[in-house]
């Protein structure tokens, strides 16, 4: 009996923590000034929040109801694998579109073109070949 | 205690979805909107999990798995389109 009370407390704590993390991530995405800053909120805090909620659901259905927890494991696997990949692609898209950044954003990121990554990576917008278009660049085949 | 925690968590996730809708509406650039949509997928998965806990059933969790897979594929497709001008080259 006491075990179930403690378990219910743990599940409630995980649920509230998950909701708070999801809300903080979305608040950061709605409030921050810059796309590069806004990218931080959903990719870390929201993933953490839904992780907490899925652990709570695993505890509830697995320990109390004695049901298998296959779906929660699958959701956790997909989300925790795909969240960094989609964040990486979004950051690459933002760099490619040359989105404006606020003055507070530290560092001046530059996009690496795949044609330029040879032995040593060269940052793309260098002054001597910034004017060369994509067609004029020599292909390395 | 679980009912109260579930209500608080549902309220917070609903507020998060409202904030996502705000960013999706006013987003100044296209990657902002993609990011808002991606976060909205994750928040809707959280909403489905909370609904499953509320109704004490696991019927709707397959929908959450599908959203987790197809949301990622949609985000990657739109990002690829913006990056390269084409999805499948």
The pLDDT tens digits for A98-124 are 787 777 777 676 666 655 555 555 555
Residue in B21, B34, B56, B58 to test binding to A, most A beta-carbons within 10 Å: B58
Q: Where are the domains of chain A?
A: 2-109, 111-141
pTM of the model: 0.81
Q: With bands split at pLDDT 50, 70 and 90, how would you rate the model's confidence at A25? A: very high
- Residue closest to B42 by CA, chosen among A29, A13, A96, A35: A29
Report chain A residues whose CB lies below 8 A from the CB of B43: 22, 26, 46
Q: Is residue B45 part of a domain?
A: yes
B89 inside domain = no
Contacts of B35 (CB under 8 A, 6+ apart): A29, A35, A38, A39, A42, A90, B23, B27
> pLDDT digits over B12-66, tens only?
999 999 999 999 998 788 899 999 999 999 999 999 999 999 998 888 999 999 9
DSSP alpha helix (H) spans, A32-116: 35-38, 40, 47-59, 70-96
Q: What is the CATH number of the domain that holds B10?
A: 1.10.287
User: Which range marks the domain in which residue B69 is found?
Assistant: 2-84
Are A90 and B10 in contact (CB < 8 Å)? Answer: no
How many structural domains are present in chain B? 1
> What pLDDT band is residue A94 in, cutting at 50, 70 and 90?
confident
Of all residues in chain A, the one with the smallest CA distance to B37 is A42
Q: Examine residue B35 and state whether it is found in any structural domain, yes or no.
A: yes
Question: A2-109: which CATH topology?
Answer: Helix Hairpins (1.10.287)
Residue A40 and residue A31 in contact, taking contact as beta carbons nearer than 8 Å: no
Shortest CA distance from B74: residue in chain A: A86
- Stretch A27-36: mean pLDDT: 88
- What ipTM was estimated for this complex? 0.90
* B30 assigned to some structural domain: yes
Are B33 and A99 within 8 A, CB to CB? no
- Contact between A64 and A12 under an 8 Å Cβ cutoff? The reply is no
> For residue A45, how far is the Cα from the chain centroid?
9
């Amino acid at each position: 009996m006491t075990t179930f009370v403690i378990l219910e407390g743990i599940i409630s704590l995980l649920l509230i923590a998950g909701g708070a993390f999801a809300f903080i991530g979305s608040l950061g995405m709605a409030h921050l000034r810059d796309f590069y800053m806004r990218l931080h909120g959903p990719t870390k805090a929201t993933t953490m929040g839904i992780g907490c909620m899925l652990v709570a659901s695993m505890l509830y259905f697995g320990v109390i109801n004695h049901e298998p927890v296959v779906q929660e494991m699958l959701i956790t696997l997909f989300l925790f694998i795909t969240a960094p990949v989609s964040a990486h692609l979004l950051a690459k898209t933002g760099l490619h579109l040359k989105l404006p950044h606020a003055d507070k954003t530290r560092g001046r990121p530059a996009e690496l073109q795949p044609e330029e990554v040879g032995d040593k990576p060269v940052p793309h917008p260098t002054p001597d070949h910034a004017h060369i278009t994509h067609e004029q660049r020599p292909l390395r085949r | 205690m679980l009912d109260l925690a579930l209500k608080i968590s549902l309220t917070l996730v609903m507020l998060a979805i409202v904030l996502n809708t705000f960013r999706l509406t006013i987003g100044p650039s296209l990657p902002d909107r993609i990011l808002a949509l991606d976060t909205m997928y994750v928040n809707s998965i959280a909403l489905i999990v909370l609904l499953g806990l509320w109704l004490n059933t696991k019927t709707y969790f397959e929908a959450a798995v599908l959203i987790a897979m197809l949301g990622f594929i949609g985000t990657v497709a739109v990002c690829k389109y913006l990056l390269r001008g084409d999805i499948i080259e």
